[in-house]
Structures are given as structure tokens and as C-alpha cells.
Amino acid sequence: MFESLTQRLSGTIERLRGRGRLTEENIRESLREVRIALLEADVALPVVQALVERIKVRAVGQEVLKSLTPGQALIKVVRDELTTVMGAAAADLNLNVPAPAVVLMAGLQGAGKTTTVAKLAKHLKERRKKKVMVVSADVYRPAAIEQLKTLAQQVDVLWFPSDPSQKPEAIVRAAIDDARKSFADVLIVDTAGRTSIDEAMMREIQALHAAVSPVETLFVVDSMTGQDAAVTAKHFGEALPLTGVVLTKTDGDARGGAALSVRYITGKPIKFIGTGEKPDGLDVFHPDRVASRILDMGDVLSLVEQVEQQVDKDKAAKLAEKVAKGKRFNLEDMRDQLEQMQNMGGLHGLMDKLPGMGQVPEHLKNQVTGKEVPRMMAIIGSMTPKERRNPHLLNGSRRARIARGSGTSPADVNKLLKQFQQMEKMMGKLAGGGMKGLMRGMKG
Ligand code: GDP
């Protein structure tokens, strides 16, 4: 996600990092680079201008120039402003209404609406413990109704059948009645794809909106369309009172123009991002975490959450606590991590959430995903518990014994220990927590 923007910006950051002094000229130069990086990422021009202006005002002020570490102070300003332009706080769905809370989904054909309905149903069911029903108001495409039925079965939520001969309002009214009888908390309504210039279709969804008073009306838009996503959402927002935007296909979006433009151009928060085709490919949109990822500072919070959800909650919580307390990371922790990685698909997605990963060449990341992990686990398995907790004990003869025990070579053992040291260093930088820890993480 957003790799090309990250690469551009982290180049600029690399030059600033650790600078003992900054002048207005240095700052102007860096801001020029930030501006170009944003424009290349297809961020809408007004957004680029506002962002660069806000960064400039703060950058030439006391906060940066008088700071002991001006390079890092400037990076913090950039991160703050990226966060603000994306909306500051995360905005999950508002479901504080008498059940069933109706969530209406709108968007262009192919944006990913139906897929998102299923992902959202899964999210609300698993993360917010809601009983969910879905219904399709797409009376033009019986195939869309069937697609939703299949997806509903897949994520195991209630599905209300639609009669294409009925009007969308009648279908959804009947679904609301049924949801009430089934004690569903939420009813998610899929609609036909439409463009805002198609007046008849816009009147149809306005009528539907008026008839069923949804508590949330979400606009689903493909992030690959860059700043056009923001413009399309704005036009829709003028005709329909949107409460938020879902940005799909961010897994394929190297640039990030849509994520950075939508909030500023539409005034509506991005509430979720689609991160893959599968039903679990949906994340709550956290502007601060995404800003960190764009600056290659990692997104450890999401990483911990993901691990927590998908694997061993106790271990994940223990590691998070350890990192927060600044305790030493040891080979047992590393083995736990490897084990969890192995239990989990999508290792790539996980690694991308670690700070500094934007700099790691692709072939190195791939190494860890192959046969490497079982070998690393075998090496750690051949150590004594004491050695695992105190890696400094591992002298030459112990290393040779471990290589023999695990059927590997001393070079493999050394390589593992080197990888361990890198992880240890990264964890150490995260310790101390929050912004400060992350900023230290930038120093390398
Ligand atoms: P609709 O016409 O708006 O209902 O779109 P669909 O839900 O049928 O999705 C269109 C295509 O986009 C399908 O092939 C989906 O698998 C794909 N898609 C949707 N969301 C995502 C996403 O977040 N990532 C990726 N990679 N593909 C997605």
C-alpha cells in the first residue's frame, strides 16, 4: 500500500534525519520534494497546497528550527499534517440507534460495493459483536443479488431475499421488518452501481434514502482512481447525505492520492479501507497509523491488533506489553513471532506494517516467507531455554552445537542471530512508546 509515495517521501526524510541544523533554505528544498512526491502520488492540488502551506508555517517556526533535532521535528510536523488532512481520528460506524441500524452503501459499478457489504458484515459481527443482515436493492442485476447471497453465506450472516420486480424501497422496508423479527442489530443495504450524472438513478437512491433513513450512508470508491475518487465522492455527497467513505483496493494502490484527498475535498471521513479481495480484507481507517506507514515509520498498533485477532491473543498482548515497557526482546519472543507468522497467511502485509520496511528490498522480504522460517525455528529449537533468554551466551562452540542439532550450518546460525539483533534493535526503538519511540526508530 502506497509504496511509491513512501519511497519518495522516505528519500526526503533520509536526508533530513539526524541533521543537527536546518536552515530556511533546507526546509524550502525539502518542502519542494514533499510537494512533488504528493503531486506524483495523485493527491488533489488544493490538498497539496494546503498541506505544504501548513507544514511550512510550522516548519519555519520555533518548533522545528529551535529544536535540538530539527530534522526529526520536521518529520513529526509532516506526520501530524498528513494525519490531520486524512481526518485525525478514526471513525467507526455509528450504530447508536434503535435496531436495526440501517447502513446504506452507494457507489459506481465495480467499485467493490458488494464485496464491501460482506466485509463490513464480517467486521460488525466479529469485532463489534453485532447480529447482521444484508439485503440487495439492486433490482437491475439478479446476478448481484445472487453474489450477495453467496457472500452472506460465506461470512455467515443473515441474508434477505430481494424480489427484482419490487421497488428498492419496498425491498428494504420488508428487510427492515424481517431484521426486527430476527433481532438483527444492523441491516446493510447494497445498491445498484450508479454515477452521479445519471439523474434517474440518483433520484432512485435519494428516494430509498428518504424512505429508510439510514444511520450511515457510505460511499464506496476505488482508491486506484486516485484524486478522481475524491471528486466522485464529492459529487455524490452533494446529492446524498453521506456519512463516510470506504476506499477499496488500497492493496493495489501504490500512490495514495485518494486516501490523502478524500477527506479534504469531500469533508467526509474515510471510515474503512479495503485491503484485499477476501472477506477479511477490510481495515478501520486510522489516519495517524496510515500517516506513519506513508512515512515508513511502521504501523505497529495495527500489526499487534492483527496478530491479536488472528493468532494467539495472550502472546500478542504479552509482546505488546513487553515492547511498551522497554523490556528486552529475546529469542523466545522471536520464535513466538515466527510461529505466529507461520500460522498466518499474508506475511507480506504484516511486514509492511513494521517501521523501516519500505527500505528492505523485496527479495529479502521474500526470503522470510519461504523455507527460511522453518529453518529459523529449528535453530532456535536447538538452543537451551537459557540461551534463548540470554543470546549473548552464544559463543562459537555453542553455535556449532546448535548448527549440528538443527541440521544447519554455523553460517545459518550466525545469520539467524544477526536477524535477531535487527529485530531486537527495532523493538528497542519502539520501546518508550508512542511518537517518541517511533521518532527514535527513524534514526536507524
Ligand atoms: P460492485 O460492482 O461495486 O458491487 O463491485 P464488487 O464488489 O463486485 O467488486 C468488484 C471487484 O473488485 C471484484 O473482483 C472484487 O473482488 C474486487 N475488490 C473489491 N474490493 C477489493 C479490495 O479491497 N482489494 C482488491 N484487491 N480487490 C477488491
Residue 154 Cβ < 6 Å to ligand 1 = no
Q: Which of 120-134, 264-278, 364-378 has the lowest mean pLDDT?
A: 364-378
Burial class (CB in 10 A: 0-12, 13-18, 19+), 247: buried
| pLDDT of amino acid 35 | 92
Distance 110 CA to ligand 1 centre (A): 6
- Tens digit of pLDDT for each residue in 387-431? 999 988 999 999 999 999 999 999 999 999 998 988 888 777 666
Residue 349: the pLDDT is: 59
Q: What is the pLDDT of residue 12?
A: 81
Q: Does domain 3-86 have CATH number 3.40.309.10?
A: no
pLDDT, tens only, 317-342? 777 777 777 677 889 888 887 777 66
What is the domain partition of the chain in residue ranges?
3-86, 101-287, 300-442
Does the fold of domain 101-287 match that of domain 3-86? no
Residue, of 18 and 425, whose pLDDT is higher: 425
> In this predicted model, what pLDDT tens digit does every residue of 295-308 receive, in sequence order?
877 666 666 666 55
Residue 24: pLDDT over 90: no
Cα Rg of the chain (Å, integer): 25
Most trustworthy range by pLDDT among 26-40, 229-243, 300-314: 229-243
- Banded pLDDT at 358 (limits 50, 70, 90): low
* pLDDT at residue 356 greater than cutoff 80: no
What is the Cα–Cα distance from 417 to 410, expressed in whole angstroms? 11
> Which pLDDT score is estimated for 119?
96
Average pLDDT over every residue of 198-221: 93
Mean pLDDT, residues 427-439 taken together: 55
Least Cα distance to 223 among 123, 108, 356, 89 occurs for 108
Q: What is the 3-state secondary structure (H, E, C) of 360-381?
A: CCHHHHHHHHCCHHHHHHHHHH
pLDDT at 360 over 70: no
CATH top-level class of 300-442: mainly alpha
Average model confidence (pLDDT) for the chain? Answer: 85
| For residue 66, pLDDT beyond 50 | yes
Distance (Å) from CA 121 to ligand 1 centroid: 15
What pLDDT digit, counting tens, does each position of 381-397 carry?
Answer: 999 999 999 988 999 99
Which pLDDT tens digit goes with each residue over 78-106? 888 999 999 978 888 999 899 999 999 99
Query: Is residue 45 pLDDT above 70, yes or no?
Result: yes
The reported pTM is 0.72
Q: How high is the pLDDT of residue 441?
A: 42
Mutate to test the pocket of ligand 1, among 120, 223, 277, 282 (most ligand atoms within 8 A of CB): 277
Counting atoms of ligand 1 from 1, which one is nearest the CA of 273? 23
Percent of the chain residues topping a pLDDT of 90? 51
User: What is d(CA 180, CA 86) in angstroms, rounded to the nearest whole number?
Assistant: 36
Superfamily of domain 101-287: P-loop containing nucleotide triphosphate hydrolases (3.40.50.300)
pLDDT of the residue at 91: 81
The reported pLDDT for the residue numbered 15 is 78
Nearest-angstrom CA–CA distance, 3 and 353: 12
Query: Residue 273 pLDDT > 80, yes or no?
Result: yes
346 marked among binding-site residues: no
Predicted local confidence at residue 200, as pLDDT: 87
Mean pLDDT of the 214-226 span? 95
Does the structure show a pLDDT above 60 at 369? no
Does ligand 1 come within 6 angstroms of the Cβ of 281? yes
Query: Beta 132-136 vs 244-248: how paired, if at all?
Result: unpaired
pLDDT at residue 105, rounded to an integer: 97
- Ligand 1 neighbour 237 (Cβ under 6 A): no
Burial of 164 (0-12, 13-18, 19+ CB in 10 A): middle
Type and span of the H or E element at 248: strand 244-248
ipTM exceeds 0.95: yes
Residue of 120, 148, 154, 248 with the most ligand 1 atoms within 8 Å of its CB, for mutation = 248
How confident is the model over 113-130, as pLDDT tens digits?
Answer: 999 999 999 999 998 999
Average pLDDT value for residue range 271-300 = 86
Q: DSSP letter at 354? A: S
pLDDT at 9 over 90: no
CA of 32 to the centre of ligand 1 (A): 36
CA distance linking residue 96 with residue 106, whole number of Å: 21
pLDDT of 149 over the 50 cut: yes
Is any ligand 1 atom within 6 A of the Cβ of residue 277? yes
